[in-house]
Structure 1
Amino acid sequence: MAHANHTSSAAHGHGHDDGHHDPEALRMMGFWIFLITDCILFGTLFATFAVLHGSTAGGPTPSELFEMGGVIAETFILLTSSFTSGLAVLSMNRGDRKGLIGWLAVTALLGAAFIGLEVTEFVKLVDEGAAISTSAFWSAFFTLVGTHGLHVSLGLVWMISIMLQLRKRGITPVTRRKVGIVSLYWHFLDVVWIFVFTIVYLMEVM
């Protein structure tokens, strides 16, 4: 009887343990599902862009208006921010909270600089007669590049909230998971931007 009790309490303890780990695993799985749906979203936007890329309706063409200097600067900034987000994860793995917050702050600043350049580019294009309603090409362009920009902005808000949590609570299993996820998300946005840079800008200019 004692043996049976011991077995049931052990089983109960094991179940409780599983319950403790599950929320973290579920959140990680939720993130991967989110990333897959994001891949589908961007895939659809790229396909739409590919179909509409010549439809300028006699209006301004991308090769006339694109300024590659600014786009190259945006690319360099985003690639650098991907590197600094990697350095943040390295600091976290060493248990260096100050370094972790510092590198996340640098990453967020670079992300903000990227958004600043993108907004400037959009304002210039609109001034030069290329708005979202000008033609099918410009609609596809603003939708695709703007959606990526919105994702970067979301990443910035997310990163700042994680920095505040780290300041308050330090490096815990929960903040570790959050830093890991935001870093993965940031690398994903970097990969998407490389496709944007190649397909939207380089191919149109060439």
Structure 2
Amino acid sequence: MSTGGDVLDKTPERHLREPWDELRLPEGRAFSYQRAGATFGIWVFIASEVLFFGALFLLYTAMRLEHAADFAVAARETNIVYGTLNTALLLTSGLFAATASQASEQEGCRRLTLGCLTATVLLGLAFMVVKGLEYREDIERHLVPGADFALKAPATQLFFGFYWLSTAIHAIHLSIGIGLVVRLIWKEWRAPGFLFENPQVEVAMLYWGFVDMIWIVLYPMLYLGGRGG
């Protein structure tokens, strides 16, 4: 079947990569050695990332227990409007990412898959723009730890040290996610049918979901502390 001169090869075999040489398991279940390996691989990677971020969150918890009052003062200086807007952007992008993953497994859903992947990228880019605006505001308000730091309590610099470190690492992970999704879109435009039943879509969307989950933890830690009651 061709569309606009492009041949739509939707056979799952076209996605085989070394060392995989067959698709179906011996029992005939409708998933491949390759898909099982790819999915297992991304979960192992995510588990290693959880260990990394877990250590970061444990450090924050220890510092907050030691300097609860100063951390509450510092958290009130973060821009909750930007933080909430970015939370909404990422949660919405996660919805589009999940839809894209499901649509890529269905016949006749090429446009839906591409549309959802494009929306995922645009929302991710919007997050980065909002974060850039927030960073600019933080710099203008002298909320970067150092000699000119705006807050007097010493431990407030610890909070903002964590703020800059954790959000920068998250932004790097999100940038990688955006790159992965852009690559899928580009591959599909070059070879229509590339996304159909391709385990690369599921792997990329699982990674995107992980990045979303990290932000969901960072949001209350950085923006909601000290604002209750």
TM range (shorter): 0.7 to 0.9
Q: For residue 120 of structure 1, what is the aligned residue in structure 2?
A: 133
* Superimposed CA distance per residue, residues 42-69 of structure 1 (whole angstroms, 9 cap, x where no aligned partner): 111111122234669x899424421211
Equivalent residues of 2:20, 2:34 under 8 A apart: no
CA contact (8 A) 2:105 2:197 kept: no
Q: Which residue of 2 aligns with 1:194?
A: 216
Partner residue of 1:99?
112
Within 5 Å, which residues of 2 pair with 1:161-180?
161-172=183-194, 176-180=198-202
**In structure 1, the residue corresponding to 2:198 is in which secondary structure?**
helix
**Per the alignment, do residues 195 and 67 of structure 1 end up closer, same or farther by CA in structure 2, a change over 3 Å counting?**
same
Shift of 1:101: 1.0
For the residues of structure 2 that align with 1:180 and 1:205, how far apart are their CA atoms? Answer: 38
In the other structure, the counterpart of 1:79 is 91
CA distance, structure 1, for counterparts of residue 43 and residue 141 of structure 2: 40
Shifted more, 167-176 versus 92-101: the winner is 167-176
How does the TM-score come out when normalised to structure 2? 0.73
Shift of 1:106: 0.7
The correspondence for 1:49, drawn from 25, 47, 60, is: 60
1:28 and 1:71 map into 2 onto residues whose CA distance is 31
Distance 2:74 2:192 in 1: 48
Runs of 4+ more than 6 Å apart: none
Q: Is the 8 A contact 2:78 2:223 kept in 1?
A: yes
Give the RMSD, CA atoms, in angstroms.
2.8
Does 1:152 pair with 2:165? no
The amino acid that maps onto 1:195 is V
**Given residue 161 of structure 1, which amino acid in structure 2 is its aligned partner?**
R
Query: Aligned partners of 1:47, 1:154: CA distance in 2, in Å?
Result: 25
CA distance in 1 between counterparts of 2:196 and 2:41 reads: 15
| 2:164 maps to 1:142 | yes
- Percent of matched pairs sharing the same residue: 21
Using the TM superposition, give the Cα deviation of residue 24 of structure 1 relative to its aligned residue in structure 2, in angstroms.
Answer: 4.7
Secondary structure at 1:130 match in 2: coil
- Whichever structure has more helix as a proportion of its residues is 1
Residue deviations 1:54-109, cap 9 Å, x none? 669x8994244212111111111111111111221232122321221111001100
Q: Using the alignment, how far apart are the partners of 2:77 and 2:95 within structure 1?
A: 31
CA contact (8 A) 1:60 1:129 kept: no
Letter in 2 for 1:160: V
Separation in structure 2 between the aligned mates of residue 198 and residue 42 of structure 1, nearest angstrom: 15
Q: Give the unaligned 5+ runs of structure 1.
A: 1-16
| Residues 1:97 and 1:132: Cα distance change in structure 2 (over 3 Å) | farther
- Give the total of aligned pairs: 190
Which deviates the most, 18-27 or 193-202?
A: 18-27
